[in-house]
Amino acid sequence: MEANVADAQRTQCTGCGAPIIVPADRLSAQCEHCDSPVVDEARGRALTDGVVPFQLPRRAAAEAIAAHLRSKWLAPRALARMRVLERHLEGHLVPLLAFDGAVTSKYAARIGINYTRTETYRGADGKPKTRTVIETEWFSLRGECGRNVEDHLVSAAPVLDEATSNDLEPFDLGWAQPFDARLVAGFSAHVPVAEPEAAARVAVDEIVAQEQVRIEHAFLPGDHKDLERLDARFDVDAVRTVLLPVWIAQLTFAGKPLTLYVNGQTGKVVGKVPISPWKVTGLVVLAVALVAAVFLLVRGCA
């Protein structure tokens, strides 16, 4: 569903009765006078087909981020020790378009089968010797395949770019419920603004890329694979707009902003983490030292 976000929505706080303006790109806000949550329920029901509620509490999300930072052994040591507080996180209900349909593919490929043979040659001493040689025989292969696609997700709001959205998956849409103010209150619920046609093109591109990987792994035998041509078609049966739970942490490290995202169902953390140039340099020096040690060892044995 495409949102018309030209105008902010005026409503009234249910807590203190003060007039409230819900931003045009939001379905929820907070009263400036009494901090009560305000939800534009009518617009939410009109623009979305469901809400997947948060299953991961704010504290657990903060702990997941802290553990994620500690696991990045190339990150600066100070980053791994940084405290992540609950106040650093804001809960967002992000609209994504869920595509259902079927994809059919026709492909042409070359597959290589390795085999061995023994050949005779003369060594440096002039005496005949034998060695095993690996050869490859190539065959042409054509085929067709298809599969059903269910809940392929495409981001529908700028708060979550498509690459980050893909990294945060999977989400379980089986938990989706009809839009309800009680599920949204206290979180920042976003209006879907993606053009349906543009989102469909993104879905097709991603599904075709998935098909290429699937065909190479499941349908092309042999030791070598060369997928020469792939004609894939995705027929859309249905599209739903679903609000999905994402914790977003706005942190600062070394004077620069650091944004991390947490799947509000699974606790999966994604986001670009800075690396320590000193650790990278040390790793390179260690690798060079190991290569040199192996070279000297082989040379000594020779």
Taking residues 141-157, report their average pLDDT: 97
**Amino acid residing at 14:** T
Query: Do 258 and 89 touch, CB atoms closer than 8 A?
Result: no
Q: State residue 252's pLDDT score.
A: 86
- At residue 302, the pLDDT reads 56
Report the pLDDT value the prediction gives residue 50, as an integer from 0 to 100.
96
Range among 15-29, 37-51, 89-103, 245-259 rated most confident: 89-103
Closest CA to 206 of 154, 146, 242, 243: 154
Is the pTM above the cut of 0.85? no
Residue with tokens 């947490």: 262
Tokens of 154: 């495409």
Structure tokens at 247: 């914790």
Please state whether beta strands 89-122 and 128-155 pair in parallel, antiparallel, or not at all (unpaired).
antiparallel
Question: Which pLDDT band, with edges at 50, 70 and 90, does 288 fall under?
Answer: confident
147 to 150, 195, 208, 220: CA distances (angstroms): 10, 26, 12, 17
- Among the ranges given (26-35, 74-83, 113-122, 221-230), the one the predictor scored with the smallest mean pLDDT: 74-83
- Please indicate whether residue 223 or residue 276 has the higher confidence score (pLDDT): 223
Q: Using CA atoms, how far apart are residues 82 and 67, in angstroms rounded to an integer?
A: 10
| CA 180/CA 237 separation, integer angstroms | 26
Helix, strand, coil in percent for the chain, rounding step 5: 30, 40, 30
Q: What pLDDT shows up at residue 155?
A: 97
* Averaged pLDDT score across all residues of the chain: 89
pLDDT of 153 over the 70 cut:
yes
Residue % of the chain over a pLDDT of 90: 64
By the 10 Å C-beta count (0-12 exposed, 13-18 middle, 19+ buried), 47 is classed as: buried
**For 72-107, what is each residue's pLDDT tens digit?**
776 677 777 778 888 889 999 999 999 999 999 999
Helix (H) or strand (E) holding 107: strand 89-122
